[in-house]
Amino acid sequence: MSATGIERIAVRVILLTLRAPFTTSFGTYETLTRPFVVVETRDGLRGVGEVPTLLDPAYKAEVDTPAVLTSLREFILPSVARNQREHGPIEDIAALRASYGWIKGAVFAKCGVEAALWDVLAQRAGQPLWQLWGGERRTFPVGVSIGGKTFDQVLALADHAVGLGYQRLKVKIWPGFDVEVARALRERFPDVLLQVDANSAYSDETWTRLRELDDLELLLIEQPLFDDDIVSHSEISRELRTPICLDESIHSLRDAQAAATLWQRNDALDRLIINIKPPRVSGFAEAIAIARFCHERGIRTWIGGMLDSAWGKAMNLNFNGLCEIDLPGDHFSPGGAYFVEDVAETPLTTTNGTYELGGGISAGVNIDWPRFERMGEIALCETLSR
């Protein structure tokens, strides 16, 4: 590969407006301001990485836009620049990760830069991301995540999704809005893959209510307890037949290994599922390592979303090309598009709830550059000297 390296890294913060409010146990979102990292190389390529931030750190630490911008501005971008100055052009993912490897945390911010470089590398190779990541051109089922505030809203969204052919529904729950909702969905859709996500809304005391979910043939119960507590999840897992899925608690391969050790002690690896969100584990390289590890150990995985734009979702869908991924991932947006206006030229469509990977270069969709530039301003820009 020609030694050219990175010329410039810009971060554009764009405003995304949801078509419908999305409610979880930690709040309701209607708009999102989101950093997109744009990496430009000296040989004239331009790659984009979405950082799927939320408005605040209610889901977990460092996922809000101000925190991500601070990490990028103060530490990550200067570190990449310094590293390239001192050690020569950054040409691959290993070198990029090494340049900011000393920084603890900041997983979302790191993933934005990494994703942008993956886009560059895919363009340079003339390959789809699924191929670059060692996957296959798969066709696979995907599901929708339902964030309704009321019983009626949830049922309406579920009816719409099942009507479009989706075979997997994930519904947000919280204390007082849980067993009845799940039971109603199960009765209405006896054959659909059904899962619930509590986003850490239960305590050591209140979780016992979730025992009642055990009769509903749910695929999984996602992150019922504290966001940073793997141990407590492994303990309640001994008392539930339904598998526990970890989302918030997993930031790295090491976290996945820790979870495996705990569930293994209970001889229950078939009741541990991991929601791999590439931004939550600092990027696609770490996500590949987690997918392989889990596959070897018999821990099922799937690719979760973060209300991503069509660009971020397209990257995640490419990641589903990895044969190690077992369960349907999130395909936002019954109907085509989550947002009133999106950054990609075309929406990501499904047929009967399945998504078919194409042969298109990189993510397989294009950024609509004029629209992208109209939707937000450049917030940071680091020009790298030679």
Binding residues for ligand OSB, per CB under 6 A? Answer: 59, 145, 197, 199, 247, 304-308, 330, 332
* 170-209 footprint of Mg ion as x/- string (CB under 5 A): ---------------------------x------------
Residue 306 or 361 having the CB closest to ligand OSB:
306
User: Does 330 contact Mg ion by CB under 5 A?
Assistant: no
DSSP strand pairing (300-303 vs 27-41): unpaired
Stretch that binds Mg ion, among 6-14, 161-169, 226-234, 244-252 (CB under 5 A): 244-252
Which partner from the list ligand OSB, Mg ion, none does 330 bind, CB cut-off 5 to 8 Å by kind?
ligand OSB
Instruction: For the CB of residue 112, give the shortest distance to ligand OSB in the complex, in Å.
Output: 16
108 vs 133: CA distance, rounded Å: 20
Q: What are phi and psi of 5, to 5 degrees?
A: 80, -175
**DSSP 8-state assignment for residue 1:** -
**Which of helix, strand or coil describes residue 172?**
strand
Residue 247 sits in the site that holds Mg ion (CB under 5 A):
yes
Type and span of the H or E element at 276: strand 272-276
* Residue 29, amino acid: Y
Q: Point out the residues that are catalytic.
A: 172, 277
Query: Residue 114: is it exposed, middle or buried by C-beta count within 10 angstroms (0-12/13-18/19+)?
Result: buried
Beta strand spans in 130-199 (E)? 139-146, 168-172, 193-197
Residue 59 site contact among Mg ion, ligand OSB, none (CB < 5 to 8 Å, cut-off depends on kind):
ligand OSB
Least Å distance, CB 221 to Mg ion, is 11
Closest separation between CB of residue 128 and ligand OSB, Å?
A: 21
- How far apart, in whole angstroms, are the C-alpha atoms of residue 122 and residue 234? 39
Q: How far apart are the first and last CA of the chain?
A: 18
How many binding residues for Mg ion (CB under 5 A)?
A: 3
**What minimum distance in Å lies between the beta carbon of 10 and ligand OSB?**
25
Tokens of 220: 């999984």
**Under the criterion CB under 5 A, does residue 308 sit at the interface with Mg ion?**
no
Q: Which is closer to ligand OSB, CB of 332 or CB of 339? A: 332
Q: Which residue number, 40 or 247, has a Cβ lying nearer to ligand OSB?
A: 247
Give the residues across from 36 on adjacent strands: 12, 50
Question: Which spans of this chain sit near Mg ion (rule: CB under 5 A)?
Answer: 197, 222, 247
